[in-house]
A and B are shown apart, each in its own frame.
Chain A
Amino acid sequence: MPFIGNTDSDRRRMLETLGLADAGELFTDIPEDVRYPDLDLPEPFAELEVLRETDRLAARNAASCGRLSFLGGGAYDHFVPSVVDYLASRGEFTTSYTPYQAEASQGTLQAIFEYQSMAAELLDIDVVNASQYDGATAFAEAAAMAVRAGRSGRRKLIVAEGTHPQYLEVLRGYLQATDVQIVEAGTADVAASRTDEETAAVLVQSPDFFGRVHDLRGIADRVHDAGALLVVHTDPIAAALFRPPGADGADIVSAEGQPLGIPLSYGGPYLGMLGCRQKLVRKMPGRIVGETVDTEGTRGFVLTLSTREQHIRREKATSNICTNQGLMALRAAIYMAAMGPRGMQQVARLSYENAHEAATRIDALPGFTVLPGLFFREFAVQTPVAAAEIVSAGDDAGISPGIDLGRFYPDRRDQLLVALTEQHTAADIEQLVTLLERWAR
């Protein structure tokens, strides 16, 4: 009973107060034939034993020994400044919950307000909420929101190519019980031209799954002229350098916030960023913090617009989301505060330059071709052999050279998706090129 405060004598006294002889009497409402089953669990571990076990498991992962990795595909190994872990692990942040009692939760509330403000500035959009689960669910909720906010009767979503395949899966999963039609189109340009009177929204990811940055200037006007909304899914590091979605006229913006100081952690917990124009805010799901004053006029922060949410609106709510990723939003806030505007741009620029250096070197290898298009920190390479073979050789060399795109697209078995961040060095790129040279011809 490792974390129980009361002693046997406490329990006896408490049971006496209740007029009971045994704690078992508290469970007599539970049908007797199924009460107290044998769970057949392992014997309890001591603290040092459990850590030995979890450390052993962690050590079985490739990541344990600082392996050189060029993996991206929706999760990026950006540097996490020391202050992020230090501050975000404070128990006052980690062991509180949703700030239902605002006066006792000003720390969380102000931090989230600052996150909302910094994220809105970064994405150049009016409002960002306090978080969704991850990029995929933020994208799916953005799409569902676009149907709600769009002109009535419009039940079609046009999704441009290059959308993260798992995001598409989640989108289809979220909308599987509705009559919303999801149409995959070509480029953003093609998607815009296919917008018709049944289209609620056009959805574009930039940078997309292949790392390509799309020029979205003019797209919003065309989508709006056809009476639809534009949803753009982006990356927060890219948005520090490239034209942010809001500048290109997006109505709703989603992003995976993991690059903002959140560890890879085998895929979660991450941060779903979701924002929109002010006029759509009542259609947006998820908690939102607003500024107000107390009875003496002192500024403070509260959860607001709660009537959109499940605990009040129940079946008419904008979403069922309750628990969100508050601690991850806090990490993002600390990250952005530590980086400042120039730091954010510098991370983006270094990542861009490293990726382009690697691409140039790889493209020069006979038999390897970097696929065309402007990219940010990630690019697809046509490989002379199956990408799986290269990945497997990388295993032996202690390098993760990239993602075998055949895992996601059967017709791309000879393509490798390679990502670099500001953490990579010239020597790292050299190692990658040396590995790939084996197949150059």
Chain B
Amino acid sequence: MNFDDSVKYQKSHEWARKDGDLVVVGISDYAQDSLGDVVFVELPEVGATLKQGESFGVVESVKSASDLFMPVGGEIAEVNDSLSDTPETVNESPFGDGWMIKIKPTDVSEYDSLMSAADYEEYTKTLEEE
């Protein structure tokens, strides 16, 4: 299991990475592994503005559908359109080509409130124990 330490995480398993003025968002390796084969990703329209914690889309495997939540609030600047044809990229490269959206954040400090890789890894261990 990869816990990429160049990004930050939240409990609903999205990661966020600063990229210039934007924040890139995807789901963690842990999340893609528990979902299984991703078959569909529903993403928002570019230009939409959403708050931190609001749902921006859905990621689906054959037997489950999980809402995706904004790790930071802001305007959707870009979405990864290639996922509509190749949703398996989320499984193959969750931190790379499997990214989902780029956000122009309204309040950059929200980014700082996210978990570090080490904290997130600890958190996932508590989930396993349940």
Contact = CB atoms under 8 A, between A and B. Distances in A.
B111 interface: no
B1 interface: no
B126 interface: no
Contact of B62 (A282, A306, A316): A306
A89 to B, nearest CB: 34
Interface string A305-317: 0110000110010
Contacts of A312: 63-65
Nearest to A303: B62
A313 B40 CA distance: 14
Contacts of B78: none
Q: What's the interface size class on B, roughly?
A: under 10
B42 interface: yes
Contacts of B65: 307, 312-313, 316
A306 B40 contact: no
Q: What's the interface size class on A, roughly?
A: under 10
Nearest to A304: B62
B60 interface: yes
Nearest to A314: B65
A282 B40 contact: yes
Contacts of A307: 40, 60-65
Interface in A307-329: 307, 312-313, 316
Contact of A282 (B42, B61, B63, B64): B42
A306 B63 contact: yes
A313 B42 CA distance: 14
Contacts of B64: 307, 312
A75 to B, nearest CB: 38
A313 B61 CA distance: 12
Nearest to B42: A282
A203 to B, nearest CB: 26
A312 B40 CA distance: 15
Greatest chain A CB density within 10 A among B42, B62, B64 is at B62
Interface in A198-217: none
B68 to A, nearest CB: 13
A98 to B, nearest CB: 15
A316 B40 CA distance: 16
Interface of A: 282, 306-307, 312-313, 316
Interface of B: 40, 42, 60-65
5 contacts: A282-B40, A307-B40, A307-B60, A307-B63, A316-B65
